Structure 1
Amino acid sequence: MGDNDGDNDTVPELSSSLGWMQRKRGNKQSGGSVIGGLTVDHSHEEGDGFNLSESGSYREGLVHISQAGTTIHGADALDQHSPSPAQGGSTSAKRANRTDLLRYTVSASNFQNMEKIGAGCSGYVRKARWKQKDSIVAIKVINVFETEKRKQMMQEVLMLCDMHCDALINFEGAFYHEGTINVVLEYMTAGSLEDVVKLSGGGIPETILAYMAEQIVEGMSFMHANKMVHRDFKPCNVLVHHNGRVKISDFGVSAVLENTLDKCTTFVGTFLYMSPERFRSDKYSYPSDLWSLGLTLMQCATGEYPYLRNSGKTYWELMEAIVQQDAPKLPENRYSAGLEGILERCLQKESEKRPTIEVLKNDDFIVSHCATTPLAARLAAISEWVGKVRSCFVSVTSPSSNSFSAPDLACNFAHFYVSFFQPHLRETLWSLYEEGAVLSVGQEMLNGRKQVMGKLLSVEASLEISPSLSDPEEWSKIAKWDSAGMVLALTVPCMVKNAKTGAEGAEIQVEFDLKADLKRICWTVTRQ
């Protein structure tokens, strides 16, 4: 997911034995019921309103989670047993005014775990393959007994279930597993804006930034129209895909207002991107997101966080700078008047002087770049630029680290490749191939990325990894690691499938030479 906020990549294993649960719950008995295949425990502990049943299910406000998935209720589910928002229950003004029921049937058995791609003090994010769909997803995992993180995760689940917008990350469900909450989200291949800006070595070109800004503003507009304030908007909470899509993520501290005149009062989020009114402990609302957006766009353009440019600052110096000093500006004579203008409007020190997000949708910087360029061309331009920054197969495990395993990498890459070889996703793979890549198909030899992708896009079939590789030990037999050249050679037996009917055909051997790109933290194919 792109937000690596710590170096602890483990969540303690928690015993779910009956004896442990009895000690945790004392003599309290659960009064469970079955709703849509989910076991729901209606009793509640004192304190934070959290109660985990012996079967591994719990209810918090409107959200029920079990080992079999998630049920999210509307207002009619709120009763005397449901904790109110003040007690820590997960609810929202929007969901509390609805009566429809949402169900997500998903469990740990649906997924094949891949590598961890981000970690914090209370949890981590990992890639995983959804077996039934043969798709790659990201799963956020947190310790269920970390009260504050759990509540944030439950809030995010509640937010995501009602947000259907192309510029917001897609929610696929959540489940309980061995002492953890697991939230399943779409996987964004390029990581976060923060990642691509760092790897770009100098910031994002203005035209590409305008195309990205249009999508970001669209997502923020959807949130504000639905009375949601993000409250933690920053580069690492905006994710990028090699198909050109850019999406806002991480809604754990977002707030839902009862009406457009309401204000927030809570000090939450990352202080680097907080607006002046929030540092002053004033009430705040939607304009605070506009300030965070302005700092984010400036950082994307210059490659540096605006307030730390040319010198480091302590927390207190930074707070003083944000509250007391003039808003940051772009370096002179290097950027267009359009970019300078949109940043100046977002970075007004007084919140009432900032534009609404709806006004920003028609800002000259966005309109001048996007109005006459079709969406497909805008997405293609983002895709091309991102593909030059890093390939679509990203691995945070360095080949020089003790945790590196050639068989694990081979397994992860093969499943990634096959998932994206489906016809509607295959174009994403173009960034995987080096400019001088070679593809051999029978007696035919194709040289260069353009020829390779032309051939691959013409293939109507899809692929499925042979059942012979179901045993993890088999991967060590097909993967050969050359540490000197930093190249992994692997031969993957695959079944050819009819892309429309799913009917299986012949088994073929697909060979790859996969080269590590340590600078870009990714891997590329040199030969196939």
Structure 2
Amino acid sequence: MNHYQNEEDRKYERIKNNSGKLQIGPQLYENVKIDNLRVMFDLGSGAFGKVTQRVLNNRILAVKEMQKTDNEEENKRIYMDLQVITCNDCSFIVKSYGYIITFDHVYICMEKMEMCLEKLNKKYIKPQEMNIPECILGKITVPVVTALKYLNDEHEIMHRDIKPSNILIDLNGNIKLCDFGIAGKIIDSDESIGCRAYLSPERMKRSKYDIRADIWSLGITLIELATSKFPYPFESYFELFYAVTEMSAPKLPKNFSHDFHEFLDKCLEKDVEKRANYNELESMKWYQIQNALKCDVEKWLANVCDALIEDGDSEN
């Protein structure tokens, strides 16, 4: 216990010593204070913090602000964010430039993405009664699976909060995973946290779980994006609990390919022992087709956004 605590203390000291160092491309900024980052506007908020768009010397950043508390578990989530986002070299995870620690807050400075997939769905897809094409869903799936597998293989971490709001897209069509505030070591995985609507059956029941719980959440996310509606109808947590634990797993509509149906069936296998792991997903026909397929996500996104603006529904 003492050895573990000493290691945690040393890790925290290393984190504190790097506060205020921002590496943006080739430029290293040192001794940066939060007052040096001019706020432009809010980008969003969640259970563990809010995100604002800020400027440092004409460079645009997304800055996640999290308040430190006396609650040890909440602070662990903050430090997990710092640990994962500053120690990854995966191109499908949102890039961190560094962080700033003050007396009562932690600010993580990240690359600016355009929006999350939840916003894309609600603001652009549903109002126009559109659907996300299967090839685009494939170009969402491959980066997310790659990022999750990277977290597992390189850091022994599972995300534990996969949902549309934690998958981001930029105007170049790049898809990246974000928000590791509730990520955790795989060996310490019997808590039931995360957005309940996307929890796997075993997590709903507060049973032991592993990385395959994230695969279930990915499956629910993909069905929601494919159909523009959440796959389980519910008005209370009890109805949701019953649906996830007792009802059959949701299915795609018939207008999607057989291979995509097969892929999602393996993601949404209620028996966790039969559910696919990352290696099995990567070996499936649909995944391999989507990985090799040429699909212009940038052009598709531009067409979706431009269509709404032409209809006069832009929020600007």
Q: Is 1:141 paired with 2:69?
A: no
Q: Which residue number corresponds to residue 319 of structure 1?
A: 241
- Runs of 5+ unmatched residues, structure 1: 1-48, 51-57, 71-102, 392-430, 436-516, 524-528
Kept in 1, the 8 Å contact 2:19–2:98? The answer is no
TM-score by length of 1: 0.52
User: Distance between the aligned counterparts of 1:185 and 1:372, measured in 2?
Assistant: 29
Kept in 2, the 8 Å contact 1:67–1:107? The answer is no
Kept in 1, the 8 Å contact 2:113–2:168? The answer is yes
Amino acid at match of 2:303: K
- State the shift of 1:263 in Å: 5.9
- Runs of 5+ unmatched residues, structure 2: 1-7, 23-28
- State the shift of 1:266 in Å: 1.4
Amino acid at match of 1:345: K
- Which structure has the bigger radius of gyration? 1
- Structure with the bigger percentage of helix: 2
- Which deviations, in whole Å up to 9, do the C-alpha atoms of 1:184-232 show, x marking residues without a partner? 111101x111111222124311111112211111111211212211111
Q: Which residue number corresponds to residue 303 of structure 2?
A: 388
Q: Is 1:350 paired with 2:271?
A: yes
Mark the CA change 1:106 to 1:314 in structure 2 (over 3 Å): closer, same or farther. same
Mark the CA change 1:123 to 1:372 in structure 2 (over 3 Å): closer, same or farther. closer
Q: Which residue number corresponds to residue 93 of structure 2?
A: 168
User: Distance between the aligned counterparts of 2:30 and 2:142, measured in 1?
Assistant: 31
Amino acid at match of 2:53: K
Amino acid at match of 2:65: V
Q: Which residue number corresponds to residue 244 of structure 1?
A: 173
SS in 1 for 2:140: helix
User: Distance between the aligned counterparts of 1:280 and 1:121, measured in 2?
Assistant: 22
- State the shift of 1:390 in Å: 2.9
- Which deviations, in whole Å up to 9, do the C-alpha atoms of 1:67-111 show, x marking residues without a partner? 6349xxxxxxxxxxxxxxxxxxxxxxxxxxxxxxxx975432542
SS in 2 for 1:125: strand
Percent identity between the aligned chains? 27
Query: 342-351 vs 103-112, which deviates more?
Result: 103-112
Q: Which residue number corresponds to residue 275 of structure 1?
A: 200
| RMSD after superposition | 2.9
User: Distance between the aligned counterparts of 2:225 and 2:142, measured in 1?
Assistant: 14
Kept in 2, the 8 Å contact 1:69–1:107? The answer is no
- State the shift of 1:358 in Å: 1.9
Amino acid at match of 1:138: A
- State the shift of 1:65 in Å: 5.9
Kept in 1, the 8 Å contact 2:16–2:101? The answer is no
How many pairs were matched up?
A: 297
Q: Which residue number corresponds to residue 40 of structure 2?
A: 114
Kept in 2, the 8 Å contact 1:212–1:382? The answer is no
Q: Which residue number corresponds to residue 210 of structure 1?
A: 138
- Structure with the bigger percentage of strand: 1
Runs of 4+ displaced beyond 6 Å: none
User: Distance between the aligned counterparts of 1:130 and 1:518, measured in 2?
Assistant: 33
User: Distance between the aligned counterparts of 1:122 and 1:278, measured in 2?
Assistant: 20
- The equivalent position to 1:334 in structure 2, one of 233, 255, 261, is 255
- The equivalent position to 1:184 in structure 2, one of 104, 109, 119, is 109
User: Distance between the aligned counterparts of 1:203 and 1:149, measured in 2?
Assistant: 38
Give the structure, 1 or 2, with the largest relative contact order (CA under 8 Å, sep 6 or more): 2
User: Distance between the aligned counterparts of 1:155 and 1:122, measured in 2?
Assistant: 12
Mark the CA change 1:369 to 1:124 in structure 2 (over 3 Å): closer, same or farther. closer
Kept in 2, the 8 Å contact 1:211–1:366? The answer is no
- State the shift of 1:119 in Å: 2.8
- State the shift of 1:520 in Å: 4.4
SS in 1 for 2:107: strand
- Which deviations, in whole Å up to 9, do the C-alpha atoms of 1:461-505 show, x marking residues without a partner? xxxxxxxxxxxxxxxxxxxxxxxxxxxxxxxxxxxxxxxxxxxxx
Amino acid at match of 2:313: K
- State the shift of 1:280 in Å: 1.5
SS in 2 for 1:390: helix
Kept in 2, the 8 Å contact 1:106–1:173? The answer is no
- State the shift of 1:146 in Å: 6.3
- State the shift of 1:112 in Å: 2.3
Mark the CA change 1:146 to 1:194 in structure 2 (over 3 Å): closer, same or farther. farther
- State the shift of 1:126 in Å: 0.4
Aligned ranges for residues 275-314 of structure 1 at < 5 Å? 275-308=200-233, 312-314=234-236
